[in-house]
Amino acid sequence: MKHFFLLVALVALAFVVWWCRIETVDVITVTPAPKSSLATQQIFQVKGTVVELQPAEKSIRIRHEAITNYMDAMTMNFDVRDTNELAGLAAGDTISFRMTVTATDGWIDQIKKLDAPKTNPPPAKPSLPPGIRILRDVDPLSVGDALPDYRFTNQLGQAVNLAQFRGQAVVFTFMFTRCPYPLYCPLMSNNFRAVQDALVKLPNAPTNWHLFTISFDPEWDTPARLKSYSQSYGCDPAHWSFLTGDLVDISALAEQVGETFARDADGAGITHNLRTVVVDAKGRVQKIIAENKWKPDELVAEIEKAAAVK
């Protein structure tokens, strides 16, 4: 009997050891290797016409054809990582190139001059193709000028007058929601999100500030579409509004700060540049920032300065 109980004990011990091994194996997890950023890249082969070479900025302005399943035909600047690729090119040249885009970046390479008759060089400034715009007769704004009042509609369908934000630092920029290129409209929205988040978290940061993102595609960018777009960027409506409105008013404000945009003659795309404007708490223009090279922390500093104006 003694041997029988010893045998049972040994069998039970063996079962426990076997079960523990199973449990040990079950809790082993394998962490997958992080996905390469290459997996998020999109690559397109594109043709276009050189508008302006900007080697000092590692950039080239191109009037490009429509890019299937990505972007309408338009004229825009592209970053070039190797400026040697610009050698031998001139305004008016027909070229092909490879365009690479990620979630946050974009550039072109493999630029090749095509055997095509050279056209008359298009004017560098302005370089917009023919289109239809209705303009008001407005004067350009300079630093120190009072910002005129304009009436818009925000993403919540509410009427907004710029004058009602006197006493706050105001920053506005322009975009349209159908613009996919990461260094243009999406970059402006990403930067504004970073500014919004920084000011909310920054100790002793001012609270009297508001950001405005103004669409120059009001036919498409309805309040409902702007609301959906704004939510995708984590917009807090208390401090950040997306605006649409009468194209005449949008064009007038844009004209005053150097923002140029025009729909292509065939109606396919919108060609535009970029402007971001800081207005102090007394309603005066503090700074007009051209293009897209500014950083969120630089704008935060400008807002702190603008909000402190009495």
Interacting residues of 282 by C-beta distance below 8 A, sequence separation 6+? 166, 309, 310
Mean pLDDT calculated for residue range 145-166: 97
Domain with CATH 2.40.50.320 in the chain: 40-113
Domain with CATH 3.40.30.10 in the chain: 151-307
CB 127 within 8 A of CB 264: no
Mean pLDDT calculated for residue range 269-283: 92
Q: Rounded to two decimals, what is the model's pTM?
A: 0.76
Q: Is the dihedral of CA 251, 254, 260, 264 positive or negative?
A: negative
C-alpha 59/C-alpha 106 separation (Å) is: 12
Burial 168-202 (b: 16+ CB within 10 A, else e): bbbbbbbbbbbbebebbbbbbbebbbebbeebeee
89, with CB counted inside 10 A (0-12, 13-18, 19+), is middle
- For position 259, what pLDDT does the model report? 93
Taking 90 as the threshold, does the pLDDT of residue 205 lie above it? yes
34-65, pLDDT tens digit by residue?
333 445 899 999 999 999 999 999 999 999 99
Fold of the 40-113 domain: OB fold (Dihydrolipoamide Acetyltransferase, E2P) (2.40.50)
CB 286 within 8 A of CB 298: no
State the pairing for strand pair 285-290/209-215. unpaired
68-116, pLDDT tens digit by residue?
989 888 888 999 999 999 999 999 999 999 999 998 999 999 999 998 6
30, with CB counted inside 10 A (0-12, 13-18, 19+), is exposed
Mean pLDDT calculated for residue range 205-220: 96
Taking 80 as the threshold, does the pLDDT of residue 137 lie above it? no
Instruction: Evaluate whether the domain defined by 151-307 bears CATH number 3.40.30.10.
Output: yes
Q: Determine what percent of the chain is predicted with pLDDT higher than 70.
A: 79
